[in-house]
Structure 1
Amino acid sequence: LIKKEKNPLIYRHKGQWLDIGRPDDWEKADAIFRKKPRVFLP
């Protein structure tokens, strides 16, 4: 999908699901979102 410039529907960060309710995961998710804003579903 990435080579075809398609965005995946879900995203895993280093094999771990992100839980935005946790402050440390929120920081990781925020950093990823700033680089690739279309990677997360609303």
Structure 2
Amino acid sequence: MAAGKNKKSAVIAVCNKLLKQVYGCVKNGTLYQDDYVKKIA
């Protein structure tokens, strides 16, 4: 909301981000790792 978006857009953006994280964990069969760093080739 600090970027000028309305509340509903901000909530949907957060939900989308969390959904992508959950999908990645389920797809790979791993638990969520708070200190995970993505390796860039």
TM-score range, shorter chain: 0.3 to 0.5
Higher helix fraction (1 or 2): 2
The two structures have a TM-score, normalised by structure 1, of: 0.35
